[in-house]
Amino acid sequence: MKHLKMNLAKWEFRSYGDEEWLPATVPGTVHTDLLKNGKIEDPFYGTNEHNLQWIDKKDWEYQTTLQLGEEWLELTCTELIFEGLDTYADVYVNNVHVLAADNMFLAWRVDVKDQLKIGENHILVRFRSVVKEDLPKLERLGYALPAPNDQSELGGLEEQRISVFARKAPYHYGWDWGPRFLTSGIWRKAALKGRDSVQIIDLYIRQNVITKEEAQLTAIIEVDAPAAWQGMLRMSADGLESMQAVSLKSGKQQIEMDIVVDQPQLWWCRGLGEPHLYTFQADLVKGKEVEVSKSVRTGLRSIQLIREHDAKGASFSFVLNGVSVFAKGANHIPNDSFITEVTEERYRHEIATAAESNMNMLRVWGGGFYEEEIFYKLCDEYGLLVWQDFMFACSMYPGDEAFLANVKKEAEYNVKRLRNHPCIALWCGNNEIDSAWSQFEENMGWGWKEKLSAEQRATMWADYEEIFHRILPEAVAAFHPGVDYWPSSPMRNLTGDMNQHATRIVGDGDVHYWGVWHGIEPFENYNTKVGRFMSEYGFQSFPELKTVMSYAEEQDLELTSEVMLAHQKNGRGNLLIKEYMDMYLPQPKDFKAFLYMSQILQAEAIRIAIESHRRNKPYCMGTLYWQMNDCWPVASWAGMDYNGRWKALQYTVRSSFQDVLLSIDGTDRERIDVHVVSDLRTAVTADLGLKLYQFNGSVLREWTHPVELGADSAAIVFSSPVTELLEGHGSNDVLLEISLQANGEMIDRKVHYFIPEKEIRLQRSVINIMETPDSGGLSFTVTSDVLARGVYLTSEDEGIFSDNYFDLLPGQPKTITFSERGNDGRDWIPGAPKGLKVQSMVDFVSEDLL
């Protein structure tokens, strides 16, 4: 009984037809290999993206040689395994063609025993240009398939959108936050594996019925046996053990064993409990000897998407272990244009940020890729639910037999790969295609209708239905029963209204509300345009100066410079930020100030949205803003930039997603309503403290209200006409501080101004920052002599502050700590911030406003 494994990590590469081979990194991409060899400049710098479009027009080759000893030849099977090839690839072993790959999202295994020899062996992988491969497909089809985010024109392909033909990450073709880099390469691990005995290919712990009392499971074990085999199957999990006799025939087959776990420790998402994980192990045992084993970590839980029709439409809410979950989170996109650059540390930083920001759900959006194992592992461990899209976005896809067969394989492979992760809460067919099509049908979006005949349209829709109403749901039902499928986010609603980039809102299903931003509606509309589950909405900002300076020079620091426009992928995005800023904030004094102000603006927009969504619980049962992260340094909707630096938004999100939220709605200026939202499962008795301050810090009025917060509730706990609150004081230099306290602890605190932010008079302030005695530089007290808005702390170190971008009142010192970004497996490490600096809004506004 023998198993041998050799990782294939030492490769060379070249452009097909070139003489010279250069060292390559595997897993990796052509772009990053060219960069590491000094053949191209930093793709993210300046406008370099535009000069690097030649790379995808070429074919590329990767080769490796390996020495095999005698022992390899005694094996019954030797497989060459590629966990991922991007995308059209031919593989040759000792000059024999052994594999033709055509889907980035699949793993490939091929038995190459007959091609191998003792001594030196040669493996060559030739990647064909996706451009050259797919242009003829477009030509053959004879008409273009809608794919509005595809930036093929950047690659010199005017009106030739080819992204829909390749099963390759859609965002590689460019998106409205991402550059166009059509990578190719061996992007996941490659290995040679040999054996002469039974192999466990897959172990799935199917969760049949999960209750507090009992978990009824079935272990499904896929095995491949070189010959008939008899022995025992032993399943164990944290102290439990059961055995069963098995008799295998030669070839691939499946064996099953039912398992019951009494009084299981369930897996919970953040806020509802501990994300307990079990390790299940399957051993095939002969006599006393374990011939082969496989283990998986999984959590026991039931998860459902509830769609109940009611007077207002139909609900959309997740129920975990019988408990309704208000989903709080964001949309995740790939962390890099070059996926293989994302280290485990970067994944950990993203997930730790989500957890620190009090999220309980991330949506893996359909224009990226099915994420790496580590992403889901971390979500399992941190108790983050994952809404998982299949990788289709904003486009119509071909429906020829080969394409559909490819999609089917992709769906089955990825569902099987991810199904043991308890974090997976939903499989969703695609991003925005259903709603876009309905707009298209009504000639409202896309503007393609005239270009297509009725017959072409009918074919397109039939192909759509084949993929999203048949192939994908069938894969989920067959391989991951117990997790729901939703065809498209969002679905067009049943009343015939549409909501892709909706400006109108309907009471059915999930909603992408883009009235604010794309529709240029005012922020206040977030208060009224609330759906049953807000799966997308967002507002852009610039990254901080340090990040901007990684791609720009001083002379580029201007809103419409070539470089700033190259790092803004949403057409008029930069000007839109300015337009909104003119509406809501004082004028920044220069471009550097504009960066800071854009973050304040973004944070304010999303704060309003999140609070409004949460106030509308249980009508609305989820809020996922667009977007969590970036794939390169860019102006975008992200809360955390490419370097993992928190924008103002991330701090706001952390506070807006707290279990108990205090939210002041003063939209109509005549009155204020104070809401408290609690996601806790128990009731809380608290005190609402109200303090009316003059901007100079003197207290004008102060009073408290007892409040009873029901478990899992949202309610108005205080309301008053503004005139009554002010008791004759002017609204211009007065603010209301509202705090919520329970058991002597501050749960939340909010400051309310009675005039629009833009009109708040800013005064030059002296802000002091003093190290707390005996804290070893780990704690600071910040004070100001006048009201300071948007107090902004920075450090040379990478990390986060206990608070940032906050308003500070005179006489109200604030204690601040700093946590370094953990690079040793810990998330955050208390640190003494080097080069600590403090500024506030007054330092960024135009002189003539002071």
Interface ranges with ligand BMA (CB under 6 A): 149, 175-177, 367, 393-394, 431-432, 512, 536, 626
Minimum distance, C-beta of residue 636 to ligand BMA, in the bound complex (Å): 8
Minimum distance, C-beta of residue 629 to ligand BMA, in the bound complex (Å): 12
Nearest Cα to 619, choosing from 323, 317, 411, 320? 317
- Residue with smaller CB distance to ligand BMA, 298 or 623: 623
- Residue with smaller CB distance to ligand BMA, 296 or 502: 502
- Residue with smaller CB distance to ligand BMA, 184 or 489: 489
Distance CA 294, CA 279 (A): 10
- Residue with smaller CB distance to ligand BMA, 11 or 523: 523
Instruction: Give the three-state DSSP class for 382.
Output: helix
Q: Do 61 and 124 contact (CB within 8 A), yes or no?
A: yes
- Residue with smaller CB distance to ligand BMA, 171 or 594: 171
Minimum distance, C-beta of residue 512 to ligand BMA, in the bound complex (Å): 6
Minimum distance, C-beta of residue 147 to ligand BMA, in the bound complex (Å): 11
Minimum distance, C-beta of residue 176 to ligand BMA, in the bound complex (Å): 5
Distance CA 363, CA 425 (A): 10
- The structure tokens 């172990």 sit at 203
Q: Do 156 and 53 contact (CB within 8 A), yes or no?
A: yes
- The structure tokens 């394409």 sit at 403
Name, in order, each residue with C-beta under 8 angstroms of 764's C-beta and a sequence gap of 6 or more. 786, 842, 850
Minimum distance, C-beta of residue 537 to ligand BMA, in the bound complex (Å): 9
Minimum distance, C-beta of residue 538 to ligand BMA, in the bound complex (Å): 6
- Residue with smaller CB distance to ligand BMA, 248 or 394: 394
Minimum distance, C-beta of residue 626 to ligand BMA, in the bound complex (Å): 5
Q: Which helix (H) or strand (E) holds 677?
A: strand 671-678
In the 3-class helix/strand/coil scheme, how is 119-177 assigned residue by residue?
A: EEEEEEEEEECHHHHHHHHHHHHCCCCCCCCCCHHHHCCCCCCCHHHCECCHHHEEECC
Quick one: residue 468, left, alpha or beta (phi over 0 = left, psi -120 to 50 = alpha)?
alpha
Minimum distance, C-beta of residue 3 to ligand BMA, in the bound complex (Å): 44
Instruction: Give the three-state DSSP class for 542.
Output: coil
**Paired strand residues for 278:** 298
Minimum distance, C-beta of residue 708 to ligand BMA, in the bound complex (Å): 40
* DSSP code at position 796: S
- Residue with smaller CB distance to ligand BMA, 514 or 651: 514
Distance CA 132, CA 137 (A): 10
* Amino acid letter, residue 26: V
From the number of C-beta atoms within 10 Å of its C-beta (0-12, 13-18, 19+), residue 450 rates as: exposed
Minimum distance, C-beta of residue 224 to ligand BMA, in the bound complex (Å): 40
Distance CA 610, CA 329 (A): 10
Name, in order, each residue with C-beta under 8 angstroms of 415's C-beta and a sequence gap of 6 or more. 427, 475, 476, 479, 480
- Residue with smaller CB distance to ligand BMA, 188 or 529: 529
Q: Do 513 and 489 contact (CB within 8 A), yes or no?
A: no
- The structure tokens 């057409």 sit at 571
- Residue with smaller CB distance to ligand BMA, 149 or 151: 149
- Residue with smaller CB distance to ligand BMA, 101 or 653: 653
- Residue with smaller CB distance to ligand BMA, 174 or 185: 174
